[in-house]
Amino acid sequence: MAEKDYIAMWFNARRRYGISDTIYWGWFYPETRSIEWKSWRHADADGLAGLAIEMRKLGYPSTPLPVCNEKAVPTWKEIKAARKEYPTDESPKTIRWKQKYDHPVNTLFKPEVAALTKEQSDKVKAYCKEIRVSHGNMLFAALSRVISQELIEGNEPFYWFFPVNVRGATGIQTESFNQVSGVNMRVTPDSTAADWQTQMRQRMKAKEHWSMWKQACLSKYLGDWGTALAYKLTSGKQFYAGNCSNLGSWPLPHANNPADPGDGRLLVGAAPGTANYPVSSSMIEWYGAIGLTLKMHPSICKDQDMVLRLSEMWKDEVLRESGQLEDQRPAENSKAL
């Protein structure tokens, strides 16, 4: 029997209700801030597979794709045992935005990119090595603090969705099929990179990503109509700040990669985002330089300038924490990092 992408069924289901699954990518030139956004549908490929397909068109072999460090999908019994051994703190998946906005139907704000130079990126990595956290967790913890300070009311915990690559364990042979699950990162307004690192490890040990994967694959039994109905019944019950997508370092290692073009451009991308996940963030490293991309859903965003401002604030928070930018914020607004 031919393989089928059971995760894609959920993206097709939500598209029935007018919710986009468009993934954006492009080349960003920091000096001119110019970019021509291109796209593909998440139903056709996840972030890693989609980028690989596009890079191959440009002469980058992009093979093999990165795989996870697990060899097989665990059973429900194993997942239940892991949950018991590695419990996680939970709370309602709700969020209080300071302000919501009403825009005309089909309003869309384009993603904005904050670029780190190779030198700045290296200093971020050195800082993260010193405090023993991944630079992905440090970057997204910084964004979370910015979003909390600027857009979220109160000090209650809230959640981000953090995608996890499960290639190598699923047994799926079709490269373009979606092979991504995730964990729910529960944070507070002042959560640090170390907080993110500790929680990420705990949730991975609890096999939360496998629980989500197995639940998503229930579309196999629901069929297209049943999956669409399930999406409609469940999509309005959980609300996140957004998603944090670490799309890794490109080009993927290969002896036949073209030489570094050396033109200062960065490969960047942005996940779809929805009203339930309104802040869509991603990081991609291109020949050692990191591009931070921010896409905002219009339900919590005033205008395009707001996206740009938050994007620059994200970069400043990263540089400030890694000791590359002096903290000039008013004392009452400063947070211990």
pLDDT tens per residue across all 337 residues of the chain: 689 999 999 999 999 999 999 999 999 999 999 998 999 999 999 999 999 999 999 999 999 999 999 999 999 999 999 999 999 999 999 999 999 999 998 899 999 999 999 999 999 999 999 999 999 999 999 999 999 999 999 999 999 999 999 999 999 999 999 999 999 999 999 999 999 999 999 999 999 999 999 999 999 999 999 999 999 999 888 999 999 999 999 999 999 999 999 999 999 999 999 999 999 999 999 999 999 999 999 999 999 999 999 999 999 999 999 999 987 655 544 333 2
Report DSSP letters for 280-337, one per residue.
EEEEEEETTEEEEEEEE-GGG---HHHHHHHHHHHHHHHHHHTTSS---S-GGG----
Q: What is the pLDDT of residue 337?
A: 28
The per-residue pLDDT for 330 is 55
Q: Distance between CA 152 and CA 318 in Å, rounded?
A: 20
The sign one gets for the Cα dihedral 229, 101, 97, 306 is: positive
pTM of the model: 0.94
15 sits in the region (left: phi over 0; alpha: psi -120 to 50; else beta) called alpha
Torsion 308-314-317-318 (CA) sign: negative
State residue 236's pLDDT score: 85
Instruction: Look up the CATH number of domain 8-325.
Output: 3.30.559.30
Paired tokens of 116: 């780190």
Query: Exposure of 151 by Cβ count < 10 A (0-12 exposed, 13-18 middle, 19+ buried)?
Result: buried
- Under 8 Å between Cβ of 79 and 211: yes
In the chain, domain spans: 8-325
Return the amino acid letter for 16: R
| Angle made by CA atoms 76, 169, 166, in degrees to the nearest 5 | 90
- Phi/psi for 184 (5° steps) reads -100, 110
